[in-house]
Amino acid sequence: MIDFQLGGRVAVVTGGASGIGLACAQALAHSGATVSVWDLDAGRVESVRAALGERHHGAVVDVADPGAVQAAMQAVSADLGRLDVAVLNAGVAGVPAPTGDYPDENWRHVMGVNLDGVFHTMRSAVQAMRAHRSGGSIVAIASVLGQVGSPNSGAYVAAKHGVVGLTRAAAWEHAADGIRVNAVGPGYIDTPLLAARIDDAQRAEIEQRHAPGRLGRPEEVAAVTTFLASDAASFVTGAYYPVDGGFLAR
């Protein structure tokens, strides 16, 4: 792993108990940060926290619930003393359906987690960083589908486009607070969530949408995320960084 020197920093990672979020939590911890892992699965949260080490923190948080997010962020500030980095990764895929037939309940669920959840956590992170007057870095995990469309994924595409727009607005709004806000756009990444949704034939087809002819790895997304969290990216804000194996270049 590349070490971006985050010693003394405190980071929150939502959806941090598996997939990209887990890789981000591990990379941030490896670079010296104390990490608060947020997820819905209490057992996984505790397992990851224990694996990271005693100084780290965990919380069961539904990011779609603004009250739960605020309470968890206050606990981070109280228990760890500050907040320097927030990685907004928690997300759901949603059911595949064309827009004309998309169920209301599923639309609200996807938007509630993937866009509202990013807003709730970003807002609480900004407030925590301002309270400690130390600035910070917020990294929203968007998607290549935050730049292009995809059939039968209207809710997901809309939410991820919204994440990119929110990132750009917040970057300007909070630059004076010393807070940088950026987004990362993963291509198709080899995670348990994706594996559960595709068969071997679909995987082979998806692999060929990427120039290297393979899926991305969670740690490849985590490396860019950790760079953006660090002072190495001190002049980077309002940016969207694809980590997509050339998916958007075609």
- pLDDT, tens digit only, all 250 positions of the chain: 555 899 999 999 999 999 999 999 999 999 999 999 999 999 999 999 999 999 999 999 999 999 999 999 999 999 999 999 999 999 999 999 999 999 999 999 999 999 999 999 999 999 999 999 989 999 999 999 999 999 999 999 999 999 999 999 999 999 999 999 999 999 999 988 888 888 899 999 999 999 999 999 999 999 999 999 999 999 999 999 999 999 999 9
| Helix, strand, coil % over all residues of the chain, rounded to 5 | 50, 15, 35
Q: Which residue has the tokens 């997010």?
A: 69
- CATH of the structural domain 10-242, one choice from 3.40.50.720, 3.40.50.1780, 3.40.190.10, 3.40.50.2300: 3.40.50.720
Quick check: 236 and 202 in contact, CB under 8 A? no
pTM of the predicted model over 0.85: yes
How do the domains of the chain map onto residue ranges? 10-242
Catalytic residue among 102, 156, 188, 241: 156
Quick check: 12 and 86 in contact, CB under 8 A? yes
Q: What is the DSSP letter of 45?
A: H
Compute how many other C-beta atoms are within 10 angstroms of the C-beta atom of residue 177: 15
- CA–CA dist 17, 24 (Å, integer): 10
- CA–CA dist 219, 23 (Å, integer): 5
- CA–CA dist 59, 73 (Å, integer): 10
The structure tokens listed for 135 are: 């600035």
Task: Specify whether 156 is catalytic.
Answer: yes
- CA–CA dist 115, 155 (Å, integer): 10
